C-alpha cells in the first residue's frame, strides 16, 4: 500500500492524487496513465476536490467514490462504459448531468444543491437513486422532471428522497417496480397519499417517518390494514403478519357495509377510504396480541379502536 501522508489534499484531481488514493503501488515498468486506465475502484473522498474532469483517464472504473468534496459539476465520466456505482454525496452539485450511458446502476447524490431530478436519459438501467437532504430554498420541494419518470420507471428499485420538502406522491406512484422507498422527513400531510403508496405492487420497505401524516392517530394501523402482504417493513420496523391479518379481517368486515347493532345487520355508507362509515366502536382489546418484543409492528399498547371507518 502506498503512503499518501505527504500528499496534500488538493482541489483538482491529479495523477499523483489518484495513485496515492488507489491503495496500490503503481508498477514502474508501465506508464502511469496506462495503470490508471485499468483501475476498477477509486476512493477520493474528503479531498476538497472541486473539479473532477481529470478522472476521465480512469476509463475502466466500476466504483467511484467522491463524497465529501466541493464538486459543483459532474464531468469526466460521460465516456465510461463500466461505471456502475457513483458516490457523490455532500458536494455542491446543483444539476444532474454528464452521466455515462447505460452502465450506471447506483447513484448517490444525497446532500447536494439539486432542485430538479433530471437528465437521467443516459441512466436507463439505474436501480438505485439516492437524493436525500438536498440544500433547497425554504419550502421549495425537490421535483422530478417529467421525462425522468419514463426513463427510470422500469428499472428503479430503490428510491431515497428523504428530507426534501416533498408534499405529494404523484411522481412516485409512476415507479411501479420500487421495492424500497424512503420519503421520511417530508411534508406529506394527507393519509390518503400514504395509503395510495400501497398501490406499488413490489414495495417491500416504506419509510414515512417525520411526515405530518405519520403523526395522525392510528396512522400505523391504517397503513398496515391496507398494506399488501409483501410489504415487510414500515417506518423501520418489521410488520408482524398476525397483526396485519387481524387488521385486514376487521377492515374486510367493515367494508362489507354491515354492522351488528342490537342483533340487527345494517347497511352503511363508505368514507373516503372505502371503509364502512358508522358510529360503532369495535374494541380489539383482549385479543391476546401484545407489543412485539423485537420492535416490530405487533400491535399498539392497549386496545385498538375502529371508529367511523378508520382506526382512532
Question: Which pLDDT score, from 0 to 100, does residue 33 have?
Answer: 85
pLDDT in tens, 250-301: 877 776 654 444 444 444 444 443 333 332 332 333 333 333 444 565 543 3
Cell of 107: 447513484
Q: Would you identify the CATH topology of the domain 15-245?
A: 3.80.10
Tell me the per-residue pLDDT of 116-138, one tens digit each, with 9 for 90 and over: 999 999 999 999 999 999 999 99
pLDDT of residue 251: 79
Percent of the residues in the chain that have a pLDDT greater than 70, as a whole number: 76
How far apart CA 18 and CA 24 sit, in angstroms, is 10
233-234 and 264-265 strand pairing: unpaired
Predicted confidence (pLDDT) at residue 58 exceeds the cutoff of 90: yes
- The domain ranges of the chain are 15-245
Beta-carbon-side half-sphere exposure of residue 190 (alpha carbons within 13 Å): 11
Q: pLDDT value at position 310?
A: 52
Question: How much is the pLDDT for 19?
Answer: 87
Q: How far apart are CA 214 and CA 236, in angstroms?
A: 13
Convert the pLDDT of each residue in 94-104 to its tens digit.
Answer: 999 999 999 99
Provide the pLDDT confidence category of residue 157 given band limits of 50, 70 and 90: very high
How many other C-beta atoms are found inside a 10 Å radius of the C-beta of residue 32?
15
On the question of pLDDT at 306 being above 60, the answer is no
pLDDT, the chain, mean: 83
Q: What is the pLDDT of residue 223?
A: 94
pLDDT of residue 175: 98
The Cα–Cα gap between 204 and 181 comes to 8
Q: What is the pLDDT of residue 298?
A: 55
The model's confidence at residue 141, banded by pLDDT at 50, 70 and 90, is very high
Find where cell 390518503 sits: 192
Ranking 10-14, 64-68, 127-131, 261-265 by mean pLDDT, the lowest is 261-265
More confident residue, 186 or 1: 186
- DSSP tag of 210: T
Rounded to two decimals, the pTM is: 0.80
Distance CA 86, CA 93 (A): 14
Long-range contacts of 31-35 (CB under 8 A, 24+ apart): 33/57
Q: How far apart are CA 90 and CA 46, in angstroms?
A: 10
pLDDT: is 195 or 290 the higher one? 195
Give residue 284's pLDDT.
30
Amino acid at each position: 500500500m502506498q503512503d499518501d501522508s505527504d500528499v496534500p489534499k488538493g482541489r483538482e484531481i491529479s495523477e499523483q492524487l489518484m495513485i496515492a488514493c488507489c491503495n496500490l503501488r503503481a508498477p514502474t515498468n508501465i506508464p502511469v496513465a496506462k495503470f490508471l486506465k485499468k483501475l476498477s475502484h477509486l476512493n477520493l473522498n474528503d479531498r476538497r476536490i472541486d473539479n473532477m474532469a481529470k478522472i476521465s483517464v480512469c476509463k475502466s472504473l466500476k466504483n467511484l467514490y467522491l463524497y465529501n468534496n466541493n464538486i459543483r459539476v459532474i464531468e469526466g465520466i460521460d465516456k465510461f462504459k463500466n461505471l456502475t456505482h457513483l458516490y457523490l454525496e455532500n458536494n455542491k452539485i446543483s444539476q444532474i448531468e454528464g452521466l455515462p450511458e447505460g452502465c450506471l446502476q447506483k447513484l448517490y447524490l444525497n446532500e447536494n444543491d439539486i432542485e430538479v431530478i433530471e437528465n437521467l436519459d443516459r441512466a436507463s438501467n439505474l436501480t438505485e437513486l439516492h437524493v436525500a437532504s438536498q440544500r433547497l430554498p425554504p419550502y421549495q420541494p425537490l421535483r422530478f422532471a417529467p421525462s425522468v419518470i419514463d426513463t427510470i420507471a422500469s428499472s428503479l428499485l430503490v428510491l431515497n428522497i428523504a428530507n426534501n420538502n416533498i408534499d405529494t406522491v404523484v411522481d412516485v406512484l409512476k415507479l411501479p417496480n420500487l421495492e424500497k422507498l424512503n420519503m421520511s422527513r417530508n411534508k406529506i400531510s394527507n393519509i390518503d397519499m400514504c395509503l395510495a403508496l400501497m398501490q406499488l405492487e413490489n414495495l417491500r420497505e416504506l419509510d414515512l417517518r417525520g411526515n405530518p401524516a405519520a403523526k395522525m392517530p392510528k396512522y400505523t394501523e391504517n397503513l398496515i390494514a391496507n398494506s399488501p402482504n409483501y410489504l415487510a417493513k414500515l417506518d423501520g420496523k418489521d410488520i408482524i403478519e398476525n397483526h396485519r391479518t387481524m387488521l385486514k379481517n376487521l377492515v374486510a368486515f367493515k367494508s362489507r357495509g354491515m354492522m351488528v347493532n342490537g342483533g340487527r345487520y345494517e347497511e352503511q355508507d363508505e368514507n373516503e377510504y372505502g371503509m364502512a362509515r358508522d358510529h360503532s366502536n369495535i374494541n380489539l382489546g383482549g385479543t391476546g396480541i401484545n407489543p412485539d418484543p423485537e420492535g416490530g409492528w405487533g400491535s399498539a399498547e392497549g386496545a385498538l379502536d375502529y371508529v367511523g371507518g378508520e382506526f382512532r
